[in-house]
C-alpha cells in the first residue's frame, strides 16, 4: 500500500507509474544522502572545530530543492539527518539535535534564496545554506549547553561555511542538468 | 478508509515532531535567572541581586526587601522631623498615641495605658529624631528594630570599653557631617559636646521598649549601625521569601545569601589609598562584609582632611587605622563592629575580635600595616600594593 | 572540469564578501568584549551551563584537573598561562585536537560532555562586589 503522504504532491488523476517514479526518486535521494552522511562521519576530520564539516549530504538537499521544492527538500533533509544518526549511533544525542536544527534552517534559507533571490546561482545558494547550517548549529549548541561562550567560534564557523558551501554547490552544479531532464513531471 | 489513514499519519507525524523537539527542552534543568533591583536609600546606592529559577518569586522578594530597608531608613534618620508640629510647638498627645497599635513587649499593655510618662514617635518623624528631641525630658517608646539596634550598641559600648558610642550625636553635629558646617570645632566646644557623650546615660527599658537620654542636649547617631541592620533585615526577608542565592550591596556594605553557582561570592576589599585597586578578595558564603574607612566621607577644611569616624573619647577623627573590614554572618553586627574596631588600637581590636564568635577582621593601620584574623585563612586572597606590609596575624 | 561562463554571479560574489565581512565584525566584537589580555587571567570551567571551577592562571601556574562532564570525566591541563583539554572520552575528540587557548576570546567546547572552558572577561574579573 502506498502511504498517502508520498502522493501529496501528485495531482488527482495521475498515472500510478508517475507516483512510483516519484517514490523511487525520493528513496534514492534519501538513501544517497544518508550514505553520504555516514561516509562523511567516518572520515578523519582535519578541522578540530565542532560544526566544521564538508556537508556532502547537503548536495542532495540542494538537488531536491531545485527539482521538487521546499516541502520535499525539507522532508529529505530531515529524514537524512534522522537515518544518518540512527546508523552512526548518535540518535537523540546533542549532536543529533544540532544537525537537525542546522539542516532544517539551512534548507529553509536555501529555499528562500531560490525563490526570492533568483540572482543567486546554485553556488551562492549553497554558500548561504552552509553558513546558515553552521549558524543554526551554534545557536542550538549555546541553548543546549547553556553557555554563551560558544559564540567565540562564530567568526571561524561563518568563514568555514564559504568553502564548504562552494564545494557542495559545485557538486550540485555537476548533477543538476542531468537530473533535470529525467525527473518525473507533475 | 483512506481519509482515516491519512489523518492518523498526520497526527503521528505531529506527535513525532513534538517528541523530537520537546525532548531536549523537557530534559533541560531550568536555567538560573537573575533579578536585580536598585534604589537610593540612606544616602547610598543599594543593589539587591537575586538568583533563582522563578523570576516572579525573585521580583516579589526583592520588592519586599526594599520595603523593609525603607522602613528601617525612616526609623533611623535623625534629621527626619515633622515640620508642622515644630512650628506650632503643640506637642502631640502621647496618651492617645499610647493607646494606638504599636509593637510592644508582651504583658506590658496594661501598664502603658497608665504610664503617661512615656512619649511615642509621631508619624512622619523618625524614632531617632524623637528620642533626640525628648532628651532630658522623657523616655520614648520605639519600634522593636530601633530598640534592638540600641541594645546591640549598648552591648558593644561595653565590650569596646567606650570606644564605640551611639550617643556621639552632639560631636557629629559640631563637625557638621550631614550638614554644611565648614569649620574645625574649637577644643572647648568639643569638650562640652563630649560631656554629653556617654552610652551609660542612654536608658533602655525592655518592658516598655523605650529609650531615654538622660541629659538634655544628648543625641543619637545610628549611622554606624543602621545600614548594616537594614541590610540584615532585607536578607532575612529574602530568605523567608525562598531566595537561596543573593547578594546585597549597600554602598560597600555587602551581605550574601548562599553561594553564587557552587562557588562562594567573590568580594574585593578596596585599597584605602587607591580607589582603583583591591587590597584583598574575600570568598563569602551566607555572611556579610562591611568596611569602615577614612576615605568614605571626608571634609576638607583649610587644606586638611577630616573623615567621619569620630572617636567618642577624643572628639576627633580616629587616626590609628585607615580601613577595617569585618566579616560575620550578621550584617548589623558587621557594620557596628567595623566602626567600633576602627576606633580602637589595632592590638586591642584584634584581641576583641578573637572573643567574638564567627567574626573575622581585616585591618589596615595608618602606616600601611595589614593585620587580619586567622579565621580569614582560605577565605581571602591578598592583593595589596607594594607599599603595604604584613604585620603579624593573630592566632586563635 | 565543468565549463562555465562564470563561476560565480555578481550576486554570489556579493554574498561571499558579506559573509567575510560578517565574520570579521564578529571577530572584532568578540575581541572587544573579551578585553585586552592582562597578566592576571582567570580560567573558568562550565558544565551544562554552571560554573564548576574558577581559578587564576599566572605564567607559572601548572596544574591538571579532572572534571566530571555530562557523560565522562575530562582532564584539563594548565601550563605557562594557557590551557587545553588533555583527555576526553568523547567520540570525535574535537576538544582535544583544538590544542591550547591562552586568553579571553577563546574557548574550547566539548559538545557531548556539555563542557566549556574559557578565560574570564577582564572587565569584571569575576568580582561580585567590593566592600569599601
Q: What DSSP letter does each residue of B308-329 carry, written as one string?
A: S-B-TTTSSB--SEEEEEEEES
What is the pLDDT at residue B358? 92
Is the Cβ pair A5, B5 closer than 8 Å?
Answer: no
What is the pLDDT at residue C92? 76
Complex-level ipTM beyond the 0.85 threshold: no
Q: A168 — phi, psi (to 5°)? A: -60, -40
Q: Chain C: nearest CA to B115, how far in angstroms? A: 45
In chain B, where does the domain assigned CATH 1.10.3980.10 lie?
Answer: 81-213
* Chain A residues closer than 8 Å to C23 by CB: 154-156, 158-159
Under a CB-based contact definition with an 8 Å cutoff, are residues B372 and B354 in contact?
Answer: no
Q: Which of B20, B27, B33 to mutate to test the interface with A (most CBs of A within 10 A)?
A: B20
- Cα C106 → chain centroid: 3
Q: Chain A: nearest CA to B17, how far in angstroms? A: 11
DSSP state of C12: H
The series of mean pLDDT values per 10 residues for chain B, 396 residues long, is: 57 63 49 82 88 89 95 84 42 44 41 59 85 92 93 92 92 79 84 92 93 93 92 96 94 93 86 83 94 88 86 91 95 95 92 92 91 83 67 46
Q: Which of A43, A121, A138, A149 to mutate to test the interface with C (most CBs of C within 10 A)?
A: A149
Q: Show which subunits contact B, needing at least 3 CB pairs below 8 angstroms.
A: A, C
> Cβ neighbours of residue C60 under 8 Å, at least 6 residues apart?
C80
C-alpha distance across the termini of chain A, in Å: 21
DSSP state of B351: H
What is the pLDDT at residue A47? 67
Q: A22 — phi, psi (to 5°)? A: -60, -45
Report the C-alpha gap between C53 and C111 in whole angstroms.
Answer: 18
CATH no. of B81-213: 1.10.3980.10
> Cβ neighbours of residue A1 under 8 Å, at least 6 residues apart?
none
Under a CB-based contact definition with an 8 Å cutoff, are residues C124 and C130 in contact?
Answer: no
Q: Chain B: nearest CA to A87, how far in angstroms? A: 17
Q: Which residues of chain C have pLDDT under 50?
A: 1, 36-38
Report the C-alpha gap between A54 and A174 in whole angstroms.
Answer: 17
Report the C-alpha gap between A7 and B98 in whole angstroms.
Answer: 88
Question: Is the domain defined by B33-71+225-390 classed in CATH 2.30.30.140?
Answer: no
* Chain A residues closer than 8 Å to C118 by CB: 149, 152
Is the Cβ pair A150, C97 closer than 8 Å?
Answer: no
Q: Chain B: nearest CA to C65, how far in angstroms? A: 17
What is the pLDDT at residue B43? 82
What is the pLDDT at residue C125? 59
Q: Chain B: nearest CA to A62, how far in angstroms? A: 23
What is the pLDDT at residue A5? 47
Is the Cβ pair B20, A100 closer than 8 Å?
Answer: yes
| A150 and C CB contact within 8 Å | yes
Is the Cβ pair B249, C132 closer than 8 Å?
Answer: no
Instruction: Name which of B263, B270, B291 is nearest C51 (Cβ-Cβ).
Output: B263
Strand pairing category for B298-301 and B304-307: antiparallel
The one-digit pLDDT tens for each residue of chain A (186 residues) are 444 444 444 444 444 446 677 778 888 899 999 999 998 888 877 666 766 778 889 999 999 888 888 888 899 999 999 999 999 888 888 788 889 999 999 999 999 888 888 888 888 999 999 999 998 888 888 777 777 677 788 888 888 889 999 999 988 888 887 776 665 544
Report the C-alpha gap between C87 and C77 in whole angstroms.
Answer: 9
Under a CB-based contact definition with an 8 Å cutoff, are residues B98 and B115 in contact?
Answer: yes
Report the C-alpha gap between C108 and C125 in whole angstroms.
Answer: 19
**β-pair partners for C68:** C73
Q: B21 — phi, psi (to 5°)? A: -80, -40
Give SS3 for B146.
helix
Under a CB-based contact definition with an 8 Å cutoff, are residues A61 and A103 in contact?
Answer: yes
Under a CB-based contact definition with an 8 Å cutoff, are residues B132 and B220 in contact?
Answer: yes
Q: Show which subunits contact C, needing at least 3 CB pairs below 8 angstroms.
A: A, B
C-alpha cell at A76: 529529505
Q: Chain C: nearest CA to A182, how far in angstroms? A: 20
Under a CB-based contact definition with an 8 Å cutoff, are residues B225 and B155 in contact?
Answer: no
Is the Cβ pair C50, B291 closer than 8 Å?
Answer: no
* Chain C residues closer than 8 Å to A94 by CB: 111-112, 114
Is the Cβ pair B20, A144 closer than 8 Å?
Answer: no
Is the Cβ pair C49, A119 closer than 8 Å?
Answer: no
Which has the closest alpha carbon to A120: C6, C13, C12? Answer: C12
Q: Which fold has domain A12-182?
A: Arp2/3 complex 21 kDa subunit ARPC3 (1.10.1760)
Report the C-alpha gap between A44 and C97 in whole angstroms.
Answer: 12
* Chain B residues closer than 8 Å to A146 by CB: 28, 31
What is the pLDDT at residue B3? 53
* Chain C residues closer than 8 Å to B295 by CB: 132
Report the length, in residues, of chain C: 132
| DSSP H helical ranges for B160-240 | 169-175, 187-195, 226-240
Under a CB-based contact definition with an 8 Å cutoff, are residues B202 and B220 in contact?
Answer: yes
Ordered by where they begin, the domains of chain C are: 9-132 (2.60.320.10)
Report the C-alpha gap between A85 and A83 in whole angstroms.
Answer: 5
Is the Cβ pair A48, C112 closer than 8 Å?
Answer: no
Under a CB-based contact definition with an 8 Å cutoff, are residues A67 and A177 in contact?
Answer: no
What is the pLDDT at residue C8? 79
Is the Cβ pair B282, C51 closer than 8 Å?
Answer: no
What is the pLDDT at residue B71? 92
Q: C43 — phi, psi (to 5°)? A: -95, 145
In chain B, where does the domain assigned CATH 3.10.520.10 lie?
Answer: 33-71+225-390
Domain positions in chain A are: 12-182
Is the Cβ pair B252, C50 closer than 8 Å?
Answer: no
Tell me, letter by letter, the H, E, C secondary structure of A40-68.
HHHCCCCCCCCCCCCCCHHHHHHHHHHHH
Under a CB-based contact definition with an 8 Å cutoff, are residues A182 and A22 in contact?
Answer: no
Q: Chain A: nearest CA to C6, how far in angstroms? A: 10
Cα–Cα distances in angstroms (integers) from residue C25 to residues A138, A164, B4, C31, C108, in the given order: 17, 21, 54, 10, 21
Is the Cβ pair C7, A123 closer than 8 Å?
Answer: yes
* Chain A residues closer than 8 Å to B17 by CB: none
Amino acid at each position: 500500500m502506498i502511504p498517502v503522504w508520498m502522493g501529496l504532491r501528485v495531482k488527482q488523476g495521475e498515472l500510478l507509474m508517475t507516483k512510483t517514479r516519484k517514490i523511487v526518486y525520493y528513496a534514492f535521494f534519501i538513501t544517497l544522502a544518508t550514505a553520504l552522511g555516514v561516509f562523511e562521519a567516518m572520515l578523519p576530520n582535519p578541522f578540530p572545530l565542532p560544526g566544521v564539516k564538508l556537508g556532502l549530504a547537503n548536495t542532495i538537499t540542494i538537488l531536491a530543492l531545485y527539482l521538487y521544492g521546499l516541502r520535499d527538500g525539507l522532508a529529505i533533509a530531515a529524514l537524512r539527518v534522522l537515518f544518518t544518526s540512527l546508523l552512526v549511533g548518535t540518535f537523540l544525542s546533542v549532536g543529533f539535535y544540532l544537525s537537525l536544527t542546522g539542516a532544517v534552517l539551512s534548507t529553509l534559507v536555501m529555499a528562500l534564496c531560490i525563490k526570492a533571490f533568483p540572482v543567486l546561482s546554485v553556488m551562492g545558494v549553497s554558500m548561504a545554506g552552509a553558513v546558515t547550517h553552521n549558524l543554526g548549529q551554534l545557536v542550538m549548541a549555546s541553548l543546549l549547553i547553556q553557555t554563551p561562550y560558544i559564540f567565540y567560534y562564530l567568526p571561524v564557523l561563518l568563514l568555514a561555511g564559504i568553502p564548504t558551501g562552494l564545494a557542495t554547490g559545485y557538486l550540485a552544479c555537476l548533477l543538476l542538468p542531468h537530473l533535470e531532464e529525467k525527473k518525473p513531471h507533475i | 478508509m483512506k481519509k482515516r489513514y491519512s489523518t492518523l499519519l498526520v497526527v503521528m507525524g505531529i506527535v513525532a515532531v513534538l517528541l523530537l523537539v520537546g525532548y531536549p527542552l523537557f530534559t533541560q534543568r531550568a536555567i538560573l535567572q537573575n533579578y536585580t533591583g536598585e534604589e537610593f536609600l540612606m544616602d547610598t546606592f543599594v543593589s539587591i541581586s537575586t538568583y533563582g529559577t522563578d523570576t516572579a518569586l525573585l521580583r516579589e522578594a526583592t520588592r519586599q526587601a526594599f520595603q523593609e530597608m525603607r522602613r528601617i531608613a525612616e526609623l533611623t534618620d535623625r534629621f527626619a522631623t515633622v515640620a508642622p508640629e515644630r512650628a506650632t510647638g503643640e506637642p502631640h498627645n502621647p496618651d492617645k498615641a499610647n493607646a494606638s497599635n504599636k509593637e510592644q513587649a508582651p504583658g506590658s499593655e496594661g501598664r502603658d495605658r497608665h504610664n503617661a510618662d512615656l512619649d511615642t514617635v509621631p508619624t512622619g518623624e523618625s524614632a531617632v529624631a524623637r528620642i533626640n528631641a525628648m532628651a532630658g525630658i522623657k523616655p520614648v517608646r520605639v519600634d522593636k528594630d530601633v530598640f534592638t539596634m540600641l541594645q546591640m550598641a549598648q552591648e558593644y559600648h561595653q565590650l569596646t570599653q567606650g570606644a564605640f558610642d551611639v550617643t556621639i550625636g552632639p560631636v557629629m553635629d559640631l563637625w557638621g557631617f550631614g550638614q554644611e558646617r565648614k569649620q574645625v570645632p574649637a577644643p572647648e566646644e568639643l569638650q562640652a559636646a563630649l560631656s554629653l557623650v556617654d552610652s551609660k546615660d542612654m536608658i533602655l527599658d525592655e518592658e516598655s521598649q523605650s529609650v531615654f537620654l538622660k541629659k538634655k542636649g544628648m543625641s543619637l547617631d545610628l549611622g554606624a549601625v543602621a545600614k548594616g541592620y537594614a541590610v540584615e533585615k532585607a536578607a532575612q526577608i529574602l530568605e523567608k521569601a525562598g531566595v537561596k542565592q543573593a547578594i546585597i550591596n549597600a554602598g560597600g556594605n555587602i551581605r550574601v545569601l548562599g553561594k553564587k553557582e557552587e562557588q562562594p561570592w567573590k568580594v574585593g576589599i578596596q585599597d584605602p589609598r587607591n580607589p582603583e585597586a583591591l587590597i584583598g578578595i574575600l570568598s563569602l558564603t551566607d555572611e556579610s562584609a562591611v568596611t569602615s574607612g577614612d576615605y568614605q566621607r571626608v571634609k576638607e577644611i583649610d587644606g586638611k582632611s577630616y573623615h567621619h569616624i569620630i572617636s567618642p573619647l577624643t572628639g576627633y577623627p580616629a587616626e590609628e587605622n585607615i580601613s577595617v573590614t569585618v566579616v560575620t554572618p550578621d550584617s548589623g553586627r558587621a557594620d557596628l563592629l567595623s566602626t567600633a574596631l576602627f576606633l580602637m588600637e589595632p592590638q586591642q581590636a584584634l584581641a576583641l575580635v578573637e572573643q567574638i564568635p564567627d567574626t573575622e577582621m581585616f585591618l589596615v593601620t595608618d602606616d600601611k600595616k595589614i593585620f587580619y584574623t586567622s579565621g580569614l585563612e582560605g577565605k581571602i586572597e591578598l592583593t595589596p600594593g607594594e607599599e603595604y606590609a604584613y604585620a603579624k596575624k593573630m592566632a586563635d | 572540469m565543468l565549463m562555465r561562463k562564470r563561476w560565480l554571479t555578481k550576486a554570489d560574489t556579493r554574498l561571499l564578501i558579506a559573509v567575510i565581512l560578517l565574520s570579521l565584525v564578529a571577530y572584532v566584537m568578540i575581541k572587544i568584549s573579551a578585553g585586552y589580555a592582562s597578566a592576571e587571567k582567570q580560567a573558568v570551567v562550565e558544565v551544562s551551563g554552571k560554573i564548576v571551577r574558577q581559578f587564576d592562571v599566572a605564567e607559572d601556574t601548572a596544574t591538571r584537573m579532572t572534571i566530571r562532564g555530562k557523560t565522562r570525566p575530562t582532564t584539563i591541563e594548565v601550563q605557562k598561562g594557557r590551557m587545553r583539554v588533555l583527555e576526553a572520552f568523547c567520540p570525535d575528540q574535537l576538544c582535544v585536537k583544538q590544542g591550547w587557548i591562552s586568553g579571553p576570546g577563546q574557548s574550547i567546547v566539548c559538545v557531548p560532555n556539555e563542557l566549556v572552558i574559557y578565560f574570564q572577561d577582564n572587565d569584571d574579573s569575576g568580582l561580585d562586589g567590593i566592600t569599601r
